[in-house]
């Protein structure tokens, strides 16, 4: 079995992350298909990608030729079975729901070739549990991209308990070809990024509750004092307070009370203050 010769990529889920992942895959020279259950979502994502590639041209970061070639490598798939049968690498970017991901991996693993790599872009769910639902769990790996995918340099590779070393080697090469810097972590709750990111954000929320400083001051302190590009409360507004609450609850279950979500986070989510997407979070938009 060989996992090395990846040419055809299928991205499942054409939302924020799926569109970005398809864009970097096509830019890296892979023939890339994009599938979504919601009718029209993949086609809409292709329009978004075309716009994003145009912006890169306008900023002088890419040539018009590179844009044309990347777009020629991209297709919106309507038939998941046919698209999966053709793929050497599948990257799943469906919503953060363990049951949904397990169902998808069970289905995908029956459709793909034996040497196809199956990757999940989960930001916090156990890769090993997703892999256990698949036929051939040794080919399952976490490829955790960051938002916005074409800009963020990091690819956090998560190897599950049963991931084959050959798949890990292939994943590192794929990441490098996509222009990413790779960090490899064991399948521990929250990996490296989500766990540290949440820890900082929860402490910032507790400081806000205790009246240590305002949201602006807490964020500015960490931005200017430690060189973070964005403070933890502003970042929570970007990611979504509901998303961060769900991750905190998951990590509390796995790692204990230190990830207990502060009351302020629960209250704001209950009130529909979800951050940028709802117009208000720790800041107003």
In the complex, the smallest distance separating the C-beta of residue 226 from ligand NAD, rounded to whole angstroms, is: 22
Please give the order of strands across the beta sheet that includes 181-186.
Answer: 74-76, 31-35, 8-12, 89-92, 117-120, 140-144, 154-159, 181-186
Binding status of residue 200 toward ligand NAD by CB under 6 A:
no
- Taking CB under 6 A as the rule, which mask of x and - marks residues 140-159 in contact with ligand NAD? ------xx------------
Q: How far is the CB of 152 from ligand NAD (least distance, A)?
A: 9
Taking the C-alpha atoms of residue 255 and residue 260, their distance in angstroms, rounded to an integer, is 10
Assess contact for 164 and 138: CB atoms under 8 A.
yes
Q: Is 35 helix (H, G, I), strand (E, B) or coil?
A: strand
Asked if 224 contacts 169 with a C-beta cutoff of 8 angstroms, the reply is no
15 binds ligand NAD (CB under 6 A): yes
Residue 127: CB minimum distance to ligand NAD, A? 11
Per-residue binding letters, 65-94, with ligand NAD (x by CB under 6 A): ----------------------------xx
Nearest residue to ligand NAD, scored by beta-carbon proximity = 15
Length of the chain: 285
119-138 residues near ligand NAD, rule: CB under 6 A: 121-123
**Residue 36 found at the interface with ligand NAD (CB under 6 A):** yes
- What does the CA dihedral 81, 82, 84, 86 come to, rounded to 10 degrees? 160
Strand 140-144 vs strand 154-159: parallel, antiparallel, or unpaired? Answer: antiparallel
**Residue span binding ligand NAD (CB under 6 A) among the ranges 34-42, 108-116, 158-166, 217-225:** 34-42
Nearest-approach distance from CB 30 to ligand NAD, in angstroms: 19
Q: Please report how close the Cβ of residue 21 comes to ligand NAD at its closest, in angstroms.
A: 9
Out of 18, 160, 232, 261, which residue is the one contacting ligand NAD (CB under 6 A)? 18
| DSSP three-state, residue 33 | strand
Alpha-carbon distance of 176 to 106, in angstroms, equals 28
Q: Which is nearer to ligand NAD, 106 or 166 (CB)?
A: 106
Minimum CB separation from ligand NAD for residue 16, in Å?
Answer: 4
* Sequence-separated (6 or more) residues with CB below 8 Å from residue 83: 10, 33, 35, 77
Closest approach of Cβ 217 to ligand NAD, in Å?
A: 25
Q: Does 41 bind ligand NAD (CB under 6 A)?
A: yes
Interaction residues for ligand NAD, span 205-244 (CB under 6 A): 239
Angle 21-25-30 from CA coordinates, rounded to 5°? 150
Q: What is the dihedral of CA 40, 46, 47, 53, to 10 degrees?
A: 170
* Contacting positions for ligand NAD (CB under 6 A): 12-18, 36-38, 41, 93-96, 100, 104, 121-123, 146-147, 239
């Amino acid at each position: 079995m060989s996992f090395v010769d990846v040419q055809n990529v299928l991205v499942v889920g054409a939302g924020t992350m799926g569109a970005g992942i398809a864009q970097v895959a096509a830019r890296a020279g892979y023939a890339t298909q994009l599938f979504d259950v919601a009718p029209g979502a993949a086609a809409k994502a292709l329009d978004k990608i075309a716009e994003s590639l145009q912006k890169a041209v306008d900023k002088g970061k890419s040539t018009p030729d590179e844009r044309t070639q990347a777009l020629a490598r991209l297709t919106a798939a309507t038939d998941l079975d046919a698209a999966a049968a053709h793929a050497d690498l599948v990257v799943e970017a469906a919503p953060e729901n363990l049951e949904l991901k397990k169902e998808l991996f069970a289905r995908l693993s029956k459709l793909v070739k034996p040497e196809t790599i199956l990757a999940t872009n989960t930001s916090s769910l156990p890769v090993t549990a997703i892999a256990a639902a698949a036929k051939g769990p040794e080919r399952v790996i976490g490829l955790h991209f960051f938002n916005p995918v074409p800009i963020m340099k990091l690819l956090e590779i998560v190897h599950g308990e049963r991931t084959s070393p050959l798949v890990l080697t292939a994943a590192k090469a794929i990441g490098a070809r996509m222009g990413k810097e790779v960090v490899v972590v064991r399948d521990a709750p929250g990996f490296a990024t989500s766990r540290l990111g949440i820890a900082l954000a929860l402490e910032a929320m507790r400081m806000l509750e205790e009246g240590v400083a305002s949201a602006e001051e807490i964020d500015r302190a960490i931005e200017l004092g430690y060189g973070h590009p964005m403070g933890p409360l502003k970042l929570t507004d970007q990611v979504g307070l509901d998303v961060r609450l769900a991750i905190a609850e998951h990590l509390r279950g796995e790692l204990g009370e230190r990830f207990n979500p502060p009351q302020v986070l629960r209250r704001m989510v209950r009130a529909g203050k979800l951050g940028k997407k709802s117009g208000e979070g720790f800041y107003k938009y």
